[in-house]
A and B are shown apart, each in its own frame.
Chain A
Amino acid sequence: MQHVWIVLGVLFVLLNVAAGLIWVERRMLAMWQDRLGPNRAGPLGLLIVLADTLKLFFKEDWIPSFADKKIFVIAPAIVVASVLMSFVVIPFAPGIVVADLNIGVLFFLAMSSLGVYSIVLGGWASNNKYSLLGAMRGASQMIAYEVFMGLSLMGVVMMTGSFRLTDIVEAQRSVWFCFTQPLGLILFFIAGIAETHRLPFDIPESESELIAGFHSEYSGMKFGMFFIGEYLGVTLISAMTVTMFFGGWMGPEFLPGWAWFFIKTFAFILFFILLRASLPRPRYDQLMESGWKVLLPLVLVNILVTGAVLLYLKG
């Protein structure tokens, strides 16, 4: 019975966080850009979340006549489903984890890779040139960054000796991995931005070139799903960063574990938004180049050094 409650609780919190991020992102962006942002609906404009959701529900749910209908409908669901599935392995607090798999890290990597299908299928099924270009960019970006995203976590895994995320959090009791694996942290976070295709790595949708990229043809709640998928992705990468490198739920005793986890995760979400407010977008080929030629070698060096140090310490 407790399991069901955890599942429902996690689902409830996540979906609300994703929706709430609409407001957070718009208000924070506005703050950094010397604007007000949505401040009319409800206190501090909080009800904009409700208004936006209602608007999306009542919009015409249009499927272009030239689209591949079945795939067009399925595509947005994939991103939300795959990201939600990744949350299964994340320990939010001691005992609050949906499934504490012993292959936690691998499961997360597998699930987040599935997200790319929604971009590729969505872009392909739209039968629109802008969408297709976006999908193509998305696919190659994902392949490039998927590779070293997994590898960047391997340092942590080697130091812990386990793929289980609760073990990884426990292993950070004395010192967080952000101090012992700084390179791994930076690389993982960069890969995470690319994974969630947020600015500066929003190449698949880059609005000044490709209108909206792979989701140009989507409207109504199908577009909303992509939107929620993106926010869930941001939350996921932030939560994973916290779990892997910032001691998960750990923190001084005066706050409960879940609160610490929440606060840390939120800080990273804000960092995502700050990045969006400040950086321009590299060109697609520049992104690929830095991925394959700079970041991948770095990540391999990181693994090599970590391994060497571990062996040395072992004696």
Chain B
Amino acid sequence: MQDADDILKQLQQRFGDTGLQQQQRKDDILTVWLPKEQLIPVTQWLKAAVDKPYKLLYDVCGIDERDRMGNGYLPLKDFTVVYHLFSFERNDFICLKVALEGEYPSLPSITSLYKNANWYEREVYDMFGIRFEGHPHLQRILMPLTWPGHPLRKEHPARATESGPFRLFTEYEDREQNALEFKPEEWGMQRQTDDADFMFLNIGPQHPGTHGVLRIVLQLDGEDIVDAVPEIGFHHRGAEKMGERQSWHTYIPYTDRVDYLGGVMNNLAYLLAVEKLAGIEVPDRVKVIRVMLCELFRISSHLVWFGTFAQDVGQLSPVFYMFTDREKVFDIIEAVCGGRMHPNWFRIGGVAQDLPNGWDGLVRHFVNYFPKRIREYTNMVLRNSLFKGRTKGIGIYTLEEAIEWGVTGAGLRACGFEWDFRKKRPYSGYEMFDFDIPIAQNGDCYDRAIVRVEEMRQSLRIVEQCLNNMPEGSYKADHPLTTPPIKKHTMKDIETLITHFLNVSWGPVIPAGEAMSCIEATKGANSYYLTSDGNTSPYRVRIRTPSFPHMQMVPYISKGYTVADLLSILGSVDFVLADIDR
């Protein structure tokens, strides 16, 4: 906190305290309102001039403030653009907010300062219609180019019944068809140079190597990649928009499906933010149960990645062994949660049920069984010289580049930087556990693989500690806002009965405020930035996913390699399309 006060003082000294206002948040992240003229100077200063600079642009999002109730302490404006910056040296976030007025406002772009601002600003433009002046290629990113309106604006319909029946008129159809025509110029690519005609290869949206509906347009000279442009948004389901009409409780299943390999890990990211807003402290047993399931899901997600990565470089068998082992993880998860990939099992203030009888036997069996398998996989895949030939020295980025592009998770640790949010900013009781942060030095595909494999070992260590030290106690916090609400005295007096009834039928009313969680998810840092205006549903849900910036970096690290290398790179980045598009 001392640090945060310092930086605020310095900011006010440098840029005058008239424009800069501080806002209190529930999560203790320093939040400063700026006029839009000062955005560039302030970010520039924070990134370069200040000591212990804020090198990582963590997230950019917009908020449509026009329907927000009771935000008297904020500059009352139509839109807000929110920037989250992160400093590794300080181990702290800073949040910059720019208030905007008008129907379709604009503000200066920071793409010249942070490389990964490009896609984030395109997303804000796509979702809100806010224009960024000076952006090199301000175009829709998630929605189709022909989409009418901007989905996260409050006037945009949230469901089909609000927007009238759909009819496909011929002229619409023609327009849509024409929009699909591929013109390299629009993607920023040349058709030829003086001595070569380029070939454009369309990889995806249906392609065995993209692991989902991702389209990458390659500009090829022979088999060498001159440029690559990813097109995303095929998997966009409007998870953020859905949050605005679901109750705090009923939104949990939607989070499961964001990083669909991460399962309950997504619940955790969301609930940590909700619990900060509601001021709920969960009991130790809840923390440990949550950690155990999250780590099991980390193992299962890494197993999928490992198998498919091996398959991407042509090794057919590992994926079958690893899916068999993933099945063993799912057996435990199924026994505990009843579900497999999307268990939807964490609740506000706790988990859905206590652990079932015999859970420890299942987990112990797995903990004893799995290390041998990892050894076998290491020998089979990582030590194979053909595999090394395909992955060593491919897709290299340095630590500075990684931070510049917003890389988190294993991709960052493969550059030799020991950074893990579980260790550095412990949440949900991770400070109680003993584990190492695996790192590697070269930042190529092979090193990213090594880091992830070692992470599975560390996860197993954590699971084992959970197994041996599971605290006794309640599986839910004793707090009126937990879901499902506490029922103990409902049959005794009418007040608690009414409260219970309202909390079940409407869902809990979370106090107004803002909070952001930040967890080390399977693929990198995952955050939910929630804004509540004191209602039964969030006012705005912002999901910061790790795969989005990772995918943005793929063109940068694949230029100059061949088509075959692109598949190694895609495999090593480990993305999930639902995690990119949300």
Contacts and interface: CB of A to CB of B under 8 A. Distances in A.
A208 interface: yes
A281 B314 contact: yes
Interface in B293-332: 310-317, 320-321, 324
Interface stretch (B52-60, B149-157, B349-357, B558-566): B558-566
B463 to A, nearest CB: 24
B316 to A, nearest CB: 6
A285 B207 CA distance: 23
Contacts of A238: none
Interface of B: 199, 201-202, 207-209, 223, 310-317, 320-321, 324, 380-381, 384, 386-387, 389-390, 562-567
A-side interface size class:
20 to 34
A206 B311 CA distance: 11
B312 A282 contact: no
Q: Could you say which of A32, A208, A286 has the most chain B C-beta atoms within 10 Å of its C-beta?
A: A208
A208 B314 contact: yes
B314 A206 contact: yes
B387 A280 contact: yes
Nearest to A29: B316
A286 B561 CA distance: 13
Contacts of B386: 200, 279-282
A169 interface: no
Contact of B209 (A34, A208, A276, A286): A208
Contacts, number: 78
Contact of B316 (A33, A34, A211, A282): A33
Contacts of A35: 320
For the complex of A and B, the 10 pairs showing the least CB-CB separation, nearest first, are A281-B314, A280-B315, A33-B320, A280-B314, A280-B313, A208-B209, A283-B564, A280-B386, A33-B317, A280-B387
A35 B314 CA distance: 19
Nearest to B210: A208
B562 A277 contact: no
B313 A211 contact: no
A283 B565 contact: yes
A283 B561 CA distance: 11
A284 B223 contact: yes
Interface of A: 29, 32-35, 129-130, 133, 199-200, 202, 206-211, 276-286
Contacts of A210: 563
Contacts of B317: 32-33, 277-278
Given A209-B567, A280-B381, 6 more contacts: A33-B317, A33-B321, A34-B324, A130-B201, A206-B564, A278-B315
A281 B384 CA distance: 11
A281 B313 contact: yes
B312 A208 contact: yes
A282 B389 contact: yes
Contacts of A200: 314, 386
A200 B386 CA distance: 9
Counting chain B CB atoms within 10 Å of each CB, which of A35, A199, A200, A280 scores highest? Answer: A280
B448 to A, nearest CB: 16
Nearest to B310: A280
Given A199-B314, A206-B564, A209-B564, A280 B390 contact: yes
Contacts of B566: 209
A133 B390 contact: no
Contact of B567 (A33, A202, A208, A282): A208
Contacts of B389: 282-283, 286
29 contacts: A29-B316, A33-B321, A34-B320, A35-B320, A133-B201, A133-B563, A199-B316, A202-B314, A206-B314, A208-B209, A208-B313, A209-B563, A209-B566, A210-B563, A276-B316, A277-B316, A277-B317, A278-B380, A279-B314, A280-B310, A280-B314, A280-B315, A280-B384, A280-B386, A280-B387, A281-B390, A283-B389, A283-B562, A283-B565
Given A283-B390, A283-B564, A208 B311 contact: yes
A271 B510 CA distance: 64
A276 B324 CA distance: 20
Nearest to A281: B314
Contact of A211 (B207, B381, B565): B207
A282 B567 CA distance: 12
B223 A133 contact: yes
Contact of A34 (B312, B321, B384): B321
A208 to B, nearest CB: 5
Nearest to B314: A281
A166 B86 CA distance: 76
Contacts of A202: 314
Given A29-B316, A281-B386, A282-B390, A211 B208 contact: yes
A279 B315 contact: yes
Contacts of A284: 223, 562, 564
Nearest to A280: B315
A133 B566 CA distance: 15
Which of A32, A199, A281 is the most central at the interface, judged by chain B CB atoms within 10 Å of its CB? A281
Contacts of A282: 386, 389-390
B477 to A, nearest CB: 43
Nearest to A129: B201
Contacts of A283: 389-390, 562, 564-565
Contacts of B320: 33-35
A279 B316 CA distance: 8
Nearest to A276: B316
A280 B445 CA distance: 15
B272 to A, nearest CB: 37
B326 to A, nearest CB: 13
A209 B209 CA distance: 6
A117 to B, nearest CB: 22
B376 to A, nearest CB: 12
